[in-house]
């Protein structure tokens, strides 16, 4: 039978492996250390990330990248962005170039500003590369709650393969050719989840959140279009869908970090409570520098950067945001400023 490799034994990789295993597909799930792999194989429970959920018995955990990838028709990369390149480089030794290779990681590499699919192209011999992104909270997927995602690739074969192995009664997979738009949607929404968590903690009301989400979508698409993305992508699951979910769910680490900051916690205290450095914090620093370099105005992101890294006070940041010159409501429909 067709074998699938999942590189990364976190919550999302485990949830995707469970879908494919439940469809009768043999899945190799790679963990960084052999102890974690052995523990999973003994119980079929990812106690660290998905405690209490027994995953399908067709999943075999391993700490060997060779075992996880050799003979696979599809390999999913589910590794956090700070470790993505090093794992991709090691994985590349075992790829023969014929497999479909798909990133599920929502991040940008610091220093190079490389998206994850760009790193896969640099570190492996694979051509058939794609990106998976959408409103995908792993715990809800593992609990088999209805949801959907987007697979983006320039190769129809990649889209069709991912749709075939991941589509099921509770999970829908939509296709898109706009790889950059889908990836950037997944990256940028983490920034605005921090902002939404903050204003929620301040009890600013539904009008505030509605305005924030709408202007966030405008900033995301404005930035992404500079990289050749299609603004219409941001009307789909990888754009507004992921933005809404991440900005409203307490399951989102980025939302929780923003909420803690809104309650008066320091950034260090907030990230410690969340259990790890939220991807959005890292993204604020990376995208702020790039936006300044390219002359792209991103008022909400700039406000968060001022608050978290420039020592500005929250009242001053909020006042500056409300004093921003008023602009066109919907971008890309006419003259914008």
- Asked if the structure places residue 337 within a domain, the reply is no
Residue 337 predicted with pLDDT over 60:
no
Q: Which one is predicted more confidently, 272 or 74?
A: 74
Burial class (CB in 10 A: 0-12, 13-18, 19+), 326: exposed
The residue count for the chain: 337
Q: How confident is the model at residue 1 (pLDDT cuts 50, 70, 90)?
A: low
Q: Are residues 84 and 95 in the same domain?
A: yes
- Tokens encoding 76: 């999913």
- Asked if the structure places residue 314 within a domain, the reply is yes
Q: Are residues 123 and 163 in the same domain?
A: yes
Q: Are residues 80 and 169 in the same domain?
A: yes
CA dist 146 and 198 (Å) reads 28
Residue 296 predicted with pLDDT over 70:
yes
Say how many domains are in the chain.
Answer: 2
CA dist 58 and 47 (Å) reads 18
- Asked if the structure places residue 27 within a domain, the reply is yes
**Which one of 3, 106, 128, 189 is the catalytic residue?**
189
Q: Which one is predicted more confidently, 336 or 194?
A: 194
Could you tell me what percent of the chain has a pLDDT over 90? 88
Q: Are residues 127 and 66 in the same domain?
A: yes
Q: Which of 177, 202, 235 is the last residue of a domain?
A: 177
Q: Are residues 247 and 99 in the same domain?
A: no
| CB-CB contact of 253 with 196 (8 Å) | no
- Asked if the structure places residue 36 within a domain, the reply is yes
Tens of pLDDT, residue by residue over 62-108, are 999 999 999 999 999 999 999 999 999 999 999 988 899 999 999 99
Q: Are residues 194 and 282 in the same domain?
A: yes
Tens of pLDDT, residue by residue over 209-252, are 999 999 999 999 999 999 899 999 999 999 999 999 999 999 99
Q: Are residues 150 and 184 in the same domain?
A: no
Residue 278 predicted with pLDDT over 90:
no
- Asked if the structure places residue 331 within a domain, the reply is no
Which range has the worst mean pLDDT, 18-22, 97-101, 169-173, 333-337? Answer: 333-337
Torsion angle of C-alpha atoms 257, 170, 10, 1, degrees rounded to 10: -160
List the domain range (segments joined by +) for residue 238.
180-322
Q: Which of 131, 159, 177 is the last residue of a domain?
A: 177
Burial class (CB in 10 A: 0-12, 13-18, 19+), 313: exposed
CA dist 151 and 104 (Å) reads 9
Instruction: Give catalytic status of residue 289 as yes or no.
Output: no
Q: How much is the pLDDT for 26?
A: 98
Q: Are residues 127 and 15 in the same domain?
A: yes
- Tokens encoding 238: 């990888």
Close Cβ partners of 47 (under 8 Å, ≥ 6 residues apart): 39
Q: Are residues 9 and 135 in the same domain?
A: yes
- Asked if the structure places residue 306 within a domain, the reply is yes
Q: Which of 115, 146, 177 is the last residue of a domain?
A: 177
CATH number at residue 236: 1.10.1040.10
Close Cβ partners of 271 (under 8 Å, ≥ 6 residues apart): 257, 277, 278, 281
CATH number at residue 138: 3.40.50.720
Close Cβ partners of 173 (under 8 Å, ≥ 6 residues apart): 148, 149, 150, 151, 162, 163, 166, 167
Q: How much is the pLDDT for 201?
A: 95
CA 328 vs CA 76, 212, 214, 242, 335: distances in Å: 40, 15, 12, 24, 8
């Amino acid at each position: 039978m067709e074998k699938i490799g999942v590189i990364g034994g976190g919550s999302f990789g485990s949830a995707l492996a469970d879908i494919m295993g439940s469809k009768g597909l043999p899945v190799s799930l790679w963990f960084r250390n052999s102890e974690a792999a052995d523990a999973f194989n003994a119980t079929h429970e990812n106690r660290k990330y998905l405690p209490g959920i027994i995953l399908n018995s067709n999943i075999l955990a391993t700490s060997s990248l060779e075992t996880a990838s050799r003979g696979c028709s599809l390999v999913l990369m589910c590794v956090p962005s700070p470790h993505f390149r090093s794992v991709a480089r090691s994985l590349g030794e075992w790829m023969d170039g014929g497999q479909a290779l798909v990133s599920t990681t929502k991040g940008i590499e610091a220093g190079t500003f490389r998206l994850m699919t760009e790193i896969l192209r640099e570190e492996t011999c694979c051509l058939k590369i794609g990106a998976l992104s959408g409103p995908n909270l792993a715990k809800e997927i593992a609990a088999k709650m209805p949801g959907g995602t987007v697979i983006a690739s320039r190769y129809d074969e990649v889209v069709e393969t991912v749709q075939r192995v991941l589509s099921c009664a509770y999970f829908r997979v939509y296709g898109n050719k706009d790889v950059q738009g889908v990836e950037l949607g997944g990256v940028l929404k983490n920034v605005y989840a921090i902002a939404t968590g903050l204003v929620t903690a301040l009890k600013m009301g539904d009008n505030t959140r509605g305005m924030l989400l709408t202007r966030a979508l405008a900033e995301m698409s404005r930035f992404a279009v500079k990289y050749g993305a299609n603004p219409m992508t941001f009307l789909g699951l990888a754009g507004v869908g992921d933005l809404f979910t991440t900005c409203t769910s307490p399951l989102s680490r980025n939302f929780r970090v923003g909420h803690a900051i809104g309650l008066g916690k320091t950034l260090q205290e907030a990230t410690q409570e969340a259990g790890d450095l939220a991807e959005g914090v890292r993204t604020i620093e990376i995208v702020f520098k790039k936006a300044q370099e390219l002359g792209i105005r991103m008022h909400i992101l700039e406000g968060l950067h001022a608050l978290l890294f420039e020592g500005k006070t929250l009242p001053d940041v909020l006042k500056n945001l409300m004093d921003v010159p008023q602009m066109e409501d919907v971008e890309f429909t006419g003259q914008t400023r």
